A and B are shown apart, each in its own frame.
Chain A
Amino acid sequence: MSGSAKQVKQLDRVIIRFAGDSGDGMQLTGDRFTQETAAFGNDLVTLPNFPAEIRAPQGTLPGVSSFQVHFADHDILTAGDAPDVLVAMNPAALRANLGDLHKGATIIVDTHDFTARNLTKAGYQENPLEGDSLDAYALHTVDLTGMTIEAVKEFGLSRKDASRAKNMFALGLLSWMYGRPTDPTTSFLAKRFAKVPDIRDANVAAFKAGWNFGETTEAFAVQYEIKPAVMPPGTYRNITGNLALAYGLVAGSVQSGLPLFLGTYPITPASDILHELSKHKSFGVTTFQAEDEIAGVGAAIGASYAGHLGVTSTSGPGVALKSEAIGLAVMTELPLVVVDVQRGGPSTGLPTKTEQADLLQAMFGRNGEAPVPIVAPQSPGDCFAAAVEATRIAVTYRTPVLLLSDGYLANGSEPWRVPIVDELPVIDPDFATEKNHGSGDGAEFWPYLRDEATLARPWAIPGTPGLEHRIGGLEKGDGHGNISYDPANHDFMVRTRQAKVDRIADTIPLIEVDDPSGEAKVLVIGWGSTYGPIGAGVRRVRKAGYQVAQAHLRHLNPFPSNLGEVLKRYDKVLVPEMNLGQLSLLLRGKYLVDAVGYNHVRGLPLKATELAHAIGELVGQAEGIDIELGVWGEPTQKEHI
């Protein structure tokens, strides 16, 4: 299926959004297009966006599910602000997504579902395909469903089953338009539907029919070519954040020699971590689906006490339920990794949408002075390294660690250079095996006698003779660890637990600032998944000829030790976040810096264009000049649209 006589145009990047009803298979379609694109060698970033309802009422706006993929011949940082191409499988999908398109964008519509009833459901008074309301776009009306049914009729499927292959027809058409390899999808379909040959053959036939339609129809005159991106040498795969995070936990287990015990309760968008880890028992992984969030973390703490790597995975509401138990892990000083895949809040909030508003909960959401280290990945693939780092800190310092992913990282994907296992850090659990206080017959085991460098206490696991000891939530005396109500001891222990967390800064990298000219007056600093949009926004400002520095925090507690000095170097500090200013608050409080927030809580990643304008404005203020971002601040205009 190659060799087109049609005109071929070169593009450097494209953003495509597949949108349809939640039953239309748009996530699968997007995922397949992504795999083809990854195999082709483009850099890419994806943004799945789906409703919380498993099957929202068919044909309605709340039922619209979409998958956006941005791919390019160079390295890119975001899933893109505005799609260049929208594939809309029904009126609701068109209406729900049209507002995100810039003028001139290409729209491919499946006309089949544009019936009076569906138009009404989507809130259209008139058929938008018939008036002039879409004149500003390159509109292609295609009866995708009708052609699909025609293409698969030889397999004798019911009309309903036949029409379900329409997403593969759409995928075939788009695969042709952008010169994607088709083999990955045909072999995927063969495997997925191996047990139902009719369905398998129908899907393959629909996929091929879509490709052939693109090649033969006069409606699509141009095929586009986006060359493979130049990326550092290595083996790559496409990976989502949840998968990378699960692999990172397995790696943390292998590198520490501690069997992984996941105690958890299903919650969107973290459940896939449980699903994935449950497949890896051959690595000694035990997954325990508990009766609730509290039991999940309780069992993980018990497993840690017994000498395993205790992990619990959840989202913000689950962290709220687990907070007392996390405090127990702080007090008993046991290793524990708490994964929080953040979603929109408060309460049930926006379960399937992204947000990063749990930072202060992670930082302060416990009773008493209960410091917990915080690590945050910056991209889907980076979830792997962040999970290994969280494990290192938890085991080395005998402390719970909060690993703050989010819904965008969890479900979004990117090409990931597979790490070399030998280059991963080795984590030493350093179990206590000997009494550590006094000598001879008077020798004792003191569970709170600390390592001088890390302030970590000894980890003596049950089964170790002579080291029998009791720990618990009550305050313990320094060293011997017996219950103590002594005022001076409590003051000392509170300060010591804080000092232990502060000392982690000795073993984390200094924050690096990307300031090419060294002359920027404005620093943009973020954390977590905003790395992509911030990087893209900064690039646009620089391309327009202005100076701006960028830094990104992986460690939120403790901060890198040079952070204060870095912040003071700049006249202005901008902190973009998907919350109302939580990192800003921490930076202002700790470093007395006049940080300026850039905050959106729309359940979606920040938009690079808007961010570029916010950065530009601050650069203008700092330099005392007028800023003209021109085309670099606008959605990129493609020559073909």
Chain B
Amino acid sequence: MTTSPLTELGLPAMRSGTEQVPAADGPQTSKEFTSDQEVRWCPGCGDYAVLKAVQSFLPDLGLRRENIVFVSGIGCSSRFPYYLDTYGMHSIHGRAPTIATGIATAREDLSVWVVTGDGDALSIGGNHLIHTLRRNVNMTILLFNNRIYGLTKGQYSPTSETGKVTKSTPMGSLDHPFNPVSLALGAEATFVARTIDSDRKHLTAVLAAAAAHRGTSLVEIYQNCPIFNDGAFDAIKSPETKADALIPLVHGEPVTFGATLEDGPSAGKGAKCLVRDEATGGVKIAATADVAATDIVVHDAHSADPTLAFAISRLTDSGYLNTSPIGIFRQVERPTYDDQAREQVATSRSGVSDNDTADQSARLAALIGGGDTWTIL
């Protein structure tokens, strides 16, 4: 886990996202996390890469398998839980965050994961997503964004670019798309990141940070649908274009990208960088050679104010994706809903035995026999 800003301020660090989840007895293998069910996504689907990454990552998490729960909604990605040998529920369209909220609030000893897609999380389930984020329930949400509806065979989604020609929009879609990262930041999510299905290393690092975060972690994963939206993320994946398209975000580092400068005062940095835009209050892309080193935006994921993170998120193309920031946009600490809900119950139960049934019965009798009573002999 990255250093806590509270620790830096000399305040006690918040607990890790998995602090109360029992640790595994010994080393685990990815095979132990693989269920016996045949994986049924289309050949070439980005979901395979994410599944492999998660199956490889879970042993590193070091938690007991029976204390991990994956919950999904409906859509291609929502088949995910069936392929992991943990506890899991494949629920109904858009509602996975609600079910995960119940699980996470009921049980502090579980590591709770939600697997969802752009249609599931942002269309039918948009309301649940924003409210889960603002409450900060301890769970990690993996939002597979392929910018299309796959399972219903190719209609445009809430992240599709305007003008998208699909089966349901032969003359082009009319809706302006959501930017999931901007949406999550607007909902004051405490952990917001974006990564790519094909970059196993980055994906795994983000998963680790997300799991360690106590609160709701939203991880948008750009995921290619080879059948209905092939190549949607080619610009940031292709070796020829990626340097200019992908804006890497690393906490504490100046944000630069593009071809590496060979010489000059900014040698070693990318040829492009982010600077504050005085005119809009946002950020804009500049040539690194043209600006003072001190003017380059230094990424601060731990800033309590989400304004700069939001400004950076706006550099994501809403049309075809030619440019996109990738990394952890925001990671701040805020008390979680579930911890506080359990705390209220625990405070109310102070002095009450958890296992004394006679005591429970006596207290129940006192409750129902309270108020103004009278006795008839």
CB neighbours (8 Å) of B27 from chain A are none
CB neighbours (8 Å) of B85 from chain A are 468
> Which residues of A269-316 are within 8 A (CB) of B?
280-286, 288, 290-292, 294-308, 310
CB distance A421 to B365 under 8 Å?
Answer: yes
Bound complex: CA A366 to CA B269 (Å): 60
Once A305-B103, A473-B92 are accepted as A-B contacts, the answer to whether A298 and B128 lie under 8 Å apart by CB is yes
Once A325-B95, A470-B82 are accepted as A-B contacts, the answer to whether A462 and B107 lie under 8 Å apart by CB is yes
CB distance A295 to B363 under 8 Å?
Answer: no
Bound complex: CA A604 to CA B37 (Å): 56
**Smallest CB gap from B37: residue in A:** A482
Bound complex: CA A342 to CA B204 (Å): 50
CB distance A238 to B372 under 8 Å?
Answer: yes
Which of A160-168, A249-257, A591-599 interfaces with chain B? A249-257
Q: Is residue B9 within 8 Å, beta carbon to beta carbon, of the partner chain?
A: no
Once A247-B367, A298-B91, A301-B102 are accepted as A-B contacts, the answer to whether A257 and B374 lie under 8 Å apart by CB is no
Interface flags, A154-193, vs B, CB<8A=1, else 0: 0000000000000000000000000000001000000000
Once A286-B341, A295-B131, A472-B81 are accepted as A-B contacts, the answer to whether A250 and B99 lie under 8 Å apart by CB is no
| Distance in Å: Cβ of B306 to nearest Cβ of chain A | 21
CB distance A292 to B345 under 8 Å?
Answer: no
Q: Is residue B110 within 8 Å, beta carbon to beta carbon, of the partner chain?
A: yes
Bound complex: CA A463 to CA B66 (Å): 5
Q: Is residue A641 within 8 Å, beta carbon to beta carbon, of the partner chain?
A: no
CB distance A462 to B105 under 8 Å?
Answer: no
| Distance in Å: Cβ of A419 to nearest Cβ of chain B | 7
Q: Is residue A219 within 8 Å, beta carbon to beta carbon, of the partner chain?
A: no
Bound complex: CA A41 to CA B376 (Å): 9
Bound complex: CA A462 to CA B105 (Å): 13
Bound complex: CA A304 to CA B102 (Å): 8
Q: How many residues of B contact A (CB 8 A)?
A: 64
Q: Is residue B86 within 8 Å, beta carbon to beta carbon, of the partner chain?
A: yes
CB distance A472 to B91 under 8 Å?
Answer: yes
CB distance B107 to A234 under 8 Å?
Answer: no
Q: Is residue B369 within 8 Å, beta carbon to beta carbon, of the partner chain?
A: yes
CB neighbours (8 Å) of A263 from chain B are 98, 102
CB distance B90 to A282 under 8 Å?
Answer: no
**Smallest CB gap from A287: residue in B:** B341
CB distance B376 to A231 under 8 Å?
Answer: yes
Once A462-B107, A472-B81 are accepted as A-B contacts, the answer to whether A234 and B375 lie under 8 Å apart by CB is yes
> Which residues of B69-106 are within 8 A (CB) of A?
69, 71-72, 74, 81-82, 85-92, 95, 97-106
| Distance in Å: Cβ of A517 to nearest Cβ of chain B | 30
> Which residues of A559-613 are within 8 A (CB) of B?
none
**Smallest CB gap from A474: residue in B:** B90
CB distance B90 to A471 under 8 Å?
Answer: yes
CB neighbours (8 Å) of A292 from chain B are 127
Interface flags, B106-132, vs A, CB<8A=1, else 0: 110110000000000000000110010
Q: Is residue A631 within 8 Å, beta carbon to beta carbon, of the partner chain?
A: no
CB neighbours (8 Å) of A299 from chain B are 98-99, 101-102, 105
Once A237-B373, A418-B373, A473-B92 are accepted as A-B contacts, the answer to whether A251 and B102 lie under 8 Å apart by CB is no
CB neighbours (8 Å) of A468 from chain B are 65-66, 85-87
**Smallest CB gap from A444: residue in B:** B36
**Smallest CB gap from B33: residue in A:** A468
Bound complex: CA A332 to CA B91 (Å): 9
Interface centre among A282, A302, A469 (most CB of B within 10 A): A302
CB neighbours (8 Å) of A236 from chain B are 373-376
**Smallest CB gap from A327: residue in B:** B92
CB distance B109 to A463 under 8 Å?
Answer: yes
> Which residues of B56-70 are within 8 A (CB) of A?
64-69
Bound complex: CA A295 to CA B95 (Å): 7
> Which residues of B330-370 are within 8 A (CB) of A?
341-342, 344-345, 347-349, 352, 357, 360-365, 367-370
Q: Is residue B371 within 8 Å, beta carbon to beta carbon, of the partner chain?
A: yes
Bound complex: CA A521 to CA B86 (Å): 61
CB distance A307 to B369 under 8 Å?
Answer: no
**Smallest CB gap from A232: residue in B:** B376
| Distance in Å: Cβ of B176 to nearest Cβ of chain A | 24
Bound complex: CA A529 to CA B67 (Å): 45
Q: Is residue A617 within 8 Å, beta carbon to beta carbon, of the partner chain?
A: no
| Distance in Å: Cβ of B232 to nearest Cβ of chain A | 28
| Distance in Å: Cβ of B103 to nearest Cβ of chain A | 4
Bound complex: CA A38 to CA B100 (Å): 46
CB neighbours (8 Å) of B101 from chain A are 288, 290, 295, 298-299, 302
Bound complex: CA A78 to CA B364 (Å): 29
CB distance A462 to B69 under 8 Å?
Answer: yes
CB neighbours (8 Å) of B68 from chain A are 462
CB distance B89 to A470 under 8 Å?
Answer: yes
CB neighbours (8 Å) of A39 from chain B are 372, 374
Picked from A238, A303, A307, A327, the residue with its CB within 8 Å of the CB of B105 is A303
Interface centre among A233, A281, A470 (most CB of B within 10 A): A470
| Distance in Å: Cβ of A280 to nearest Cβ of chain B | 7
Given A39-B374, A470-B88, 16 more contacts at CB 8 Å?
A250-B364, A251-B368, A284-B345, A286-B342, A291-B128, A292-B127, A298-B101, A301-B99, A306-B69, A306-B102, A332-B89, A418-B368, A422-B361, A462-B103, A465-B65, A473-B74
The 5 closest A-B pairs by CB, nearest first: A302-B102, A298-B98, A472-B90, A299-B102, A281-B348
What would be 29 A-B contacts, judged by CB atoms less than 8 Å apart?
A233-B376, A233-B377, A234-B375, A234-B376, A237-B369, A238-B372, A250-B364, A283-B364, A284-B349, A285-B345, A288-B102, A295-B131, A298-B97, A298-B101, A299-B101, A302-B99, A302-B103, A303-B105, A305-B89, A306-B102, A306-B106, A306-B110, A325-B92, A328-B92, A422-B361, A463-B107, A463-B110, A468-B87, A474-B90
Chain A residues within CB distance 8 Å of chain B: 35, 38-39, 41, 184, 231-239, 247, 250-251, 254, 257, 259, 261, 263, 280-286, 288, 290-292, 294-308, 310, 324-325, 327-328, 332, 384, 418-422, 462-474, 482-483
